[in-house]
Amino acid sequence: MTDAVATARRTVRMEGEAILAASERIDDALAGAVDLLASGGRVIVSGIGKSGVIAQKIAATLTSTGTAASYVHPVESLHGDLGLVDRHSVAILLSKSGETEELFGLLGALVRLGVPVIAITGARDSTLGRAARFVLDASVREEACPHDLAPTTSTAVALALGDGVAMALLERKGFGRDDFAALHPAGRLGRKLLLRVQDVMVPAERTLPPTATMQQVVVGLAHGRGIVAIINGDTLVGVITAGDLTRIIERTAEYLGVRAESAMTSAPRVVHAGDLAAYALGEFERHSIMAAPVLDEAERVVGIVHLHDLLRSGAG
């Protein structure tokens, strides 16, 4: 193992251990912080240096999950950016030591305005910690830096705590997939969250009754998606795939006269037209299937969807 690999592994291990230790220290202060954020208005997030970079990520995560948040530079905030703050605002301030002087001007202004502060800090009994309504413990034993100087484990823990707050707040607000998709309409993620099975399926034009012969089924398989839905009235009673056809051929040379009900797979896997395409793809992968009938809300067959349709759509 090279020195570089050993150092990288040590760094990642230390950061992981620090995050796990921080997870054990999470207490009712985080619940209180989530309550405060859920009932407040715009969230102001701030920090300086590496903490400022983490603050920007936390603000972005909150905004993308339904809570309006803005990163404010602690120095620039004193030159006009405090206009973002009103009496409904809540602030999240980050500082490893809790004694970052560049943060104190903003902290003082927030206190004067009556804006409640949530601190993410490694020092509960610090100036920042004492001024905050809720303190999230981001303390670490040491940085992963060999000299214990460059912020590494401390920033990893602060980021993880910010993510913990954002996810707890997301659940508290009932922010779901559709809400997320509405805020992420572009790109692969947007397609994955917005695309439904009905958008990629093909109409079920070649359904057959249980009394149909395998000769009719073979024609249906040749012109379809490798699957034929067998319906009795409006009710799906089975499917026949190429695998079912192979098995009936192996059983008898007179397979073309066999009735579909003797060869079909009863109680097949199905998906619904309104299902997310990503969910359907997951079902296909979990159950190792290539195609499935698509049902509407009345459980009637309205289409067929194939694994290749889902993959081409970008659902994965």
CA 209 to chain centre: 42
pTM tops 0.75: no
The answer to whether 42 touches 59, Cβ cutoff 8 Å, is no
Would you give per-residue pLDDT tens digits along the chain (316 residues)? Answer: 678 999 999 999 999 999 999 999 999 999 999 999 998 788 999 999 999 999 999 999 998 888 888 898 888 766 556 677 877 899 999 999 999 988 998 998 888 888 999 999 999 999 999 999 999 999 999 998 888 778 899 999 999 999 999 999 988 888 766 656 555 554 555 555 567 888 888 888 778 999 999 898 888 887 767 889 999 988 999 999 888 888 888 888 888 888 988 889 898 999 999 888 888 888 888 888 888 999 999 999 999 998 888 887 766 5
Domains located in the chain, CATH noted: 3-175 (3.40.50.10490), 197-313 (3.10.580.10)
